[in-house]
Amino acid sequence: MPTKKLSVVVTRRLPDAVQSRMAELFDVTLRDTDTPMSRDALAAAMQGADVLVPTITDAIDAALLAQAGPRLKLIANYGAGVDHIDTGTARQRGILVSNTPGVLTDDTADMTMALMLSVLRRIPEGMRIAQSDDWTGWAPTAMLGGRIAGRRLGILGMGRIGQAVARRARAFGMQIHYHNRKRLRAEIEEPLGATYWDSLDQMVARMDVISVNCPHTPSTFHLMNARRLKLMKPDAVIVNTSRGEVIDENALTRMLRSGEIAGAGLDVFERGHEINPRLKALSNVILLPHMGSATVEGRLEMGEKVLINIKTFADGHRPPDLVVPGQL
């Protein structure tokens, strides 16, 4: 007698290849439109499904988890970050949470370097001038940016992505410094030529570039607050491809406007897609629509991890990418 397929609900439209494979393996409900589910729709999905496949646009808090039906036993997140899911409450209710770690490391690190180069070399400004009717040709003092080689890079969060950024930055001739919850082992730190700073304040005050590569947790919320941003050198820049909540966006905007910080490259924002209008108006800021992980290869690999997590769970085993609350 054939085994009944798991009921799986996907909250956003995923790449066609991923959706096709899900339809083969599970009794899946897919999204036809690429818009977030409403809270009521999420609640309804959680009441009747065995597995929910959410994305970072779905806020799954304790109140929503309280409405989950008895069948829901796995939340297989399509993405590495799980700060939008109350993993502690999920565990208390007997719901496992999995994610897709490691898949987007290189893509995000590439984008971090792209933002550094773009800010320091003023690439978007140059594009606007070249595409306008105002460009009169090359001039010795026009569009002067800063050389990336020799600059001190301070990496905030030296996990997979932070280390990938360090490898790339070192190839560009940057000096690598980092702050992390724990110092890296010597066999990791030494090949990167990385200097560890126990004091984040002291590191921030001495760097030419700050790269935010740590997750958003209660302890990292506004880690780069107004006081700490004021420690940055006036000619320093900050890049964030991690989570917008790590930086106090209002304080950053004020300091960029006043010239206390030279520039910023941001792929994420404190309030999701609602960007501070004053930030948008600044010429020394590069803003991207959370596209650090947006590669075809990365999205397909994310889907493959989700499929493996669900299939492993369906076979009665622990998902390989199980998230353990408190160990993020």
Decide: 186 and 214 in contact? Cβ < 8 Å.
Answer: no
Element (H, E) at 76: strand 74-76
The yes/no answer on whether domain 7-103+296-314 falls in CATH 3.40.50.720 is yes
Please report, for the chain, how many H helices and E strands are present, in that order: 13, 12
Write down the pLDDT at residue 1: 40
Cα–Cα distance for residue pair 88/92, rounded to 1 Å: 6
Cα–Cα distance for residue pair 288/291, rounded to 1 Å: 7
Cα–Cα distance for residue pair 204/139, rounded to 1 Å: 35
Token pair for 122: 């003023």
Cα–Cα distance for residue pair 254/257, rounded to 1 Å: 5
Write down the pLDDT at residue 3: 64
Cα–Cα distance for residue pair 243/257, rounded to 1 Å: 22
The position carrying tokens 């984040």 is 200
Decide: 97 and 82 in contact? Cβ < 8 Å.
Answer: yes
> What residue ranges do the domains of the chain occupy?
7-103+296-314, 105-287
Token pair for 272: 């999701």
Cα–Cα distance for residue pair 221/125, rounded to 1 Å: 31
Cα–Cα distance for residue pair 107/123, rounded to 1 Å: 20
Which amino acid type is present at position 164? A
Decide: 280 and 286 in contact? Cβ < 8 Å.
Answer: no
Cα–Cα distance for residue pair 244/248, rounded to 1 Å: 8
Element (H, E) at 238: strand 237-240
Write down the pLDDT at residue 65: 97
Q: What percent of the residues of the chain are helix, what percent strand, and what percent coil, each to the nearest 5?
A: 35, 15, 50
Element (H, E) at 154: strand 152-156
Cα–Cα distance for residue pair 265/117, rounded to 1 Å: 9
Cα-to-chain-centroid distance, residue 286: 16
With b meaning 16 or more CB within 10 Å and e meaning fewer, what string describes 21-60? Answer: bbeeebebbbbeeeebbeeeebbebbeebbbbbbbbebbb
Please, which residues have CB within 8 angstroms of residue 48's CB and are 6 or more apart in sequence? 7, 9, 69, 71
Provide the CATH topology of domain 105-287. Rossmann fold (3.40.50)
Q: Would you say the CATH fold of 105-287 matches that of 7-103+296-314?
A: yes
Low-confidence ranges of the chain (pLDDT < 50): 1, 328
